[in-house]
Amino acid sequence: MINRIDEKFQELKKGGRKALIFYLTVGYPDMVTFMKLVTALENFGADLIELGVPFSDPVADGLTIQRTSEVALKQKINLKKSFLLAKELSKKSNIPLVFMSYYNPIYHYGLQKFAHDCKKTGISGVIIPDLPPEEATPLKNILKQDNVNLIFLIAPTSPQERMRMISKESQGFIYYVSLTGVTGAREKLSGTIKSSLHKIYRFTKKPICVGFGISKPSQAREIGKYSDGIIIGSALLNIVERYKNKRGLIKEVEKFTSEIKVALRS
């Protein structure tokens, strides 16, 4: 059976569309609202959802995701619960779900069990910012048996030979990190994204999606022009944080996502 992520990108390619990917911290601000948010994002046209499984020491994350992770951890969100929530989501929807977490919780859970549970609960891919391809062989081999993609990141600091190697290793899509830094919404994006993407496309036919820092429709429009999709996390979580206990939350999320979507598809 074809992996849902691969299927999604084929479908997008046929339609000549770019992928709109959102990141949410699992269980943020609380479990019920989180589930509502995922459903809402799908309804508003998201193509893929990254579910951030919180870790106590998120070294690749900026303040927003540090805060949301801390809240999620206080609510005792762990991998086991994340799998349960994923299973619920998969029952109602066909949107590809990807886990984003750090390596330690996954290692501790047990690689074999992790892979099986991904398959059982409809997790189609995994992104682990502190697991470069050099250290990923054991997990990759195990995930392969359960048809779960292991998605790797390329950074602006990656030299050509790493771009080539990571393009080869990454499954589903390639996650291009738009900036030299941690996650978090930015006013301005780097001027070198276009040329870097150009270089990577010389090594691969796989889709490349760009994340880290994207917060505005104008940025989505710009990046959409020369990539296969965009990933937004912190900017969305900032809205969730601002409206978390207010009635207007879903409306605000809709407003933001539709603006991004319009920009991306224009």
Partner 1 sequence: MYPNKKGRFGIFGGRFAPETLMAALSELETAYRKVQKDKTFQKELNGYLSDYAGRPTALYYAKRLTEHFKGARIYLKREDLLHTGAHKINNTLGQVLLAKRMNKKRIIAETGAGQHGVATATAAALLGFKCEVYMGEVDMLRQRLNVERMRLLGTKVIPVKSGTRTLKDAVNETFRDWVTNVKNTYYVLGSVVGPHPYPLMVRNFQSVIGRETKQQILRKEGKFPDALVACVGGGSNSIGLFHPFFHHQNVKFIGVEAAGRGLKTGKHAATLVAGKKGVLHGSFSELLQDENGQVHPTHSVAAGLDYPGVGPEHSYYKSIGRAKYVAVTDREALKAFHLLSEIEGIIPALESAHALAYLAKFAPKLSSNEIIVLCLSGRGDKDLGEVIKDYD
Query: Cβ 73 to partner 1, closest distance in Å?
Result: 7
**What is the rounded radius of gyration, in angstroms, for the C-alpha atoms of the chain?**
17
d(CA 222, CA 193): 10
d(CA 60, CA 105): 15
* Closest to partner 1 by CB, 25 or 158: 158
Per the listing, tokens 């499954």 go with 171
Q: What angle do CA 21, 27, 33 make, to 5 degrees?
A: 85
Per the listing, tokens 């779960």 go with 148
* Closest to partner 1 by CB, 23 or 102: 102
Q: Which two tokens stand for residue 51?
A: 């579910």
φ/ψ of 78, rounded to 5, equals -140, -175
* Closest to partner 1 by CB, 58 or 224: 58
* Closest to partner 1 by CB, 67 or 265: 67
d(CA 226, CA 47): 18
Helix locations, the chain, DSSP H = 4-15, 31-43, 63-74, 79-92, 103-109, 111-121, 137-145, 160-169, 193-201, 217-225, 234-243, 249-265
* Closest to partner 1 by CB, 134 or 187: 134
Catalytic residues: 50, 61
* Cβ–Cβ < 8 Å for 186, 160: no
3-state secondary structure of 17: coil
* Cβ–Cβ < 8 Å for 234, 215: yes
Interface contacts to partner 1, rule CB under 8 A? 55-60, 62, 66, 70, 73, 78-80, 102-109, 129-132, 134-135, 152-159, 162, 166, 177, 180-182
